[in-house]
């Protein structure tokens, strides 16, 4: 009996190694059609899942409670499985080079528990060659088995968009590849059990690896272009959103917008491609240029917030700024590589105190990773400026009139009254500073309410 048929008949099991934003939805989906072991090295996270708590907020508590997947932190259970899917993160080192530590560690764990006739499929984003040149030898060394004879490998890049409730695992076309024709077909057929949109069979593992890494590099470059335009239009006194709204009336204009580019994909994957390019002697120009622009946007946002505070006669050192949203994107608890954190670090350099509001963010991870604690919205008062950094759905109900209540009504130590405002030489000195990174509010409405309003 083929491995595919054995999985369908529930005579063989699937394992998912890494139960984060990618691995958990994958384990839940596979468990609807097969026996699944979900493995995570962190015991605390596994225990949360066993209690029916979805810490990723990707599938929901109910789905976690009802799944038949067996969650464990003990690697011995992987020996019961024949189809292993590795879905661990691939972050960056401080010098922007690939940190393959998690995928190497996962390969060692799988290798120690690999049995004859097994398949190992990697979903982690990597540069072309990692699966075959780095992971495969580890699997062979740890297992004592021979690839292509005793077990086979493949690659199928994740395409989940965290926080996106429309583009889900099941309705996004999957790309997959194996080390030979037989493994390519088997891997594709197993994924077709859960992927309604279908599976594209790439011609090789390296092609599949390259396809994934350029998807995010392409988005990164396009957003960098929008960010550069935003910088130019800001200098010209032109509203970027208004320009893009006009340009989008053309049928083939690409609908990208400026913003802070963080997270574990777009802000990371281009560096993986650049690393491999430099390894073969090619120095990237477009990719690195886009990365530099996007990496510098946090500093740009912080500087413009400070400039507007100065215009409003607000003292900088010792001032308090309320920041709404700290995750790397809207409606997602993930704070990994969040560029809002970089904005905060820049503002702290000016001696500014920061209060962060975000009920979506993973509070424990935020404090563990960055030492940042969250503040309840009710405790925000007497601030000198407000910055909306992430457009969570929960923020869309906030009215500009309500934001007004958050501000300190003194300037340079003087309580602001209509009489004092009337004697000011600078009309901006009577205004409240509001930085709206992604354009959550209407500019004209904000200015009509006497905000000193700025956005990308």
Angle at 324 between CA 320 and CA 325, to 5 degrees: 130
Rounded distance between C-alpha atoms, residue 56 and residue 200, angstroms: 27
The reply to whether 81 belongs to the active site is no
Dihedral sign for Cα 360, 364, 365, 370, please.
positive
CA 362 to chain centre: 13
Which residue among 81, 135, 265, 332 is the active-site one? 265
436 has which bridge partners?
A: 388
Query: Residue ranges of the alpha helices (H) in 58-99?
Result: 61-66
Residues found in the chain:
456
Question: Which of 339, 357, 183 has the alpha carbon at shortest distance from 267?
Answer: 339
- For residue 341, give Cα distances in angstroms to 16, 26, 42, 80, 390: 31, 29, 25, 42, 12
CB 407 within 8 A of CB 321: no
Tell how many helices (H) and how many strands (E) occur in the chain.
18, 15
Rounded distance between C-alpha atoms, residue 448 and residue 403, angstroms: 14
DSSP string, 208-250: HHHHHHHHHHHHHHHHHHHHHHHHHHHHHT--HHHHHHHHTTS
- For residue 298, give Cα distances in angstroms to 139, 302, 303, 356: 41, 6, 9, 16
Residue 173: DSSP 8-state = P
Please give the torsion angle defined by the CA atoms of residues 351, 357, 361 and 364, in that order, rounded to the nearest 10 degrees.
60
CB 434 within 8 A of CB 414: no
Instruction: Identify each DSSP E strand in 346-412 by its residue range.
Output: 353-357, 385-388, 410-411
Residues serving a catalytic function are 265
């Amino acid at each position: 009996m083929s491995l595919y048929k054995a999985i369908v008949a529930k005579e063989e099991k699937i394992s998912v190694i890494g139960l984060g934003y990618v691995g958990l939805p994958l384990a839940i989906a596979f468990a609807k059609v097969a026996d699944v072991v979900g493995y995570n090295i962190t015991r605390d996270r596994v225990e949360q899942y066993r209690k029916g708590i979805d810490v990723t907020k990707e599938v929901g508590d109910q789905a976690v409670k009802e799944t038949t997947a067996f969650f464990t932190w003990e690697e011995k259970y992987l020996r019961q499985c024949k189809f292993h899917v590795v879905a661990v993160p691939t972050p960056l080192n401080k010098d922007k080079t690939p940190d393959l530590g998690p995928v190497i560690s996962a390969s060692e764990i799988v290798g120690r528990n690999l049995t004859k006739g097994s398949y190992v499929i990697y979903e982690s984003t990597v540069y072309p060659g990692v699966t075959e040149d780095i992971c495969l030898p580890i699997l062979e060394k740890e297992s004592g088995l021979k690839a292509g004879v005793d077990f086979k490998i493949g690659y199928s890049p994740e395409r989940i968009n965290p926080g996106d409730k429309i583009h889900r695992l099941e309705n996004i076309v999957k790309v997959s590849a194996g080390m030979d024709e037989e493994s390519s077909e088997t891997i594709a057929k197993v994924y077709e059990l859960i992927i309604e949109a279908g599976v594209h069979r790439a011609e090789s593992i390296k092609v599949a690896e390259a396809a994934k890494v350029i998807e995010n590099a392409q988005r990164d470059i396009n957003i960098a272009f929008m960010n550069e335009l935003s910088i130019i239009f800001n200098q010209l006194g032109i509203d970027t959103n208004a320009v893009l709204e006009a340009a989008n009336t053309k049928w083939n204009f690409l609908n990208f917008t400026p913003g802070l580019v963080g997270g574990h994909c777009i802000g990371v994957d281009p560096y993986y491609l650049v690393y491999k390019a430099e390894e073969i002697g090619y120095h990237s120009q477009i990719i690195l240029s886009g990365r530099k622009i996007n990496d510098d946007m946090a500093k740009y946002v912080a500087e413009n917030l400070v400039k507007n505070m100065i215009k409003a006669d607000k003292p900088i050192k010792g001032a308090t700024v309320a920041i709404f949203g700290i995750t790397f994107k809207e409606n997602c608890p993930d704070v990994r590589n969040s560029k809002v954190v970089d904005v905060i670090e820049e503002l702290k350099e000016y001696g500014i105190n920061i209060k962060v509001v975000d009920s979506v963010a993973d509070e424990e991870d935020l404090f563990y990773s960055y030492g940042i604690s969250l503040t309840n919205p009710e405790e925000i008062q007497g601030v000198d400026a407000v910055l909306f950094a992430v457009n969570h759905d929960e923020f869309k109900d906030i009215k500009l009139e309500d934001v007004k209540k958050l501000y300190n009504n003194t300037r340079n130590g003087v309580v602001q009254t209509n009489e004092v405002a009337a004697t000011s030489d600078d009309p901006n000195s009577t205004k409240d500073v509001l930085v709206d990174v992604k354009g959550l509010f209407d500019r004209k409405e904000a200015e009509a309410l006497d905000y000193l309003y700025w956005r990308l």
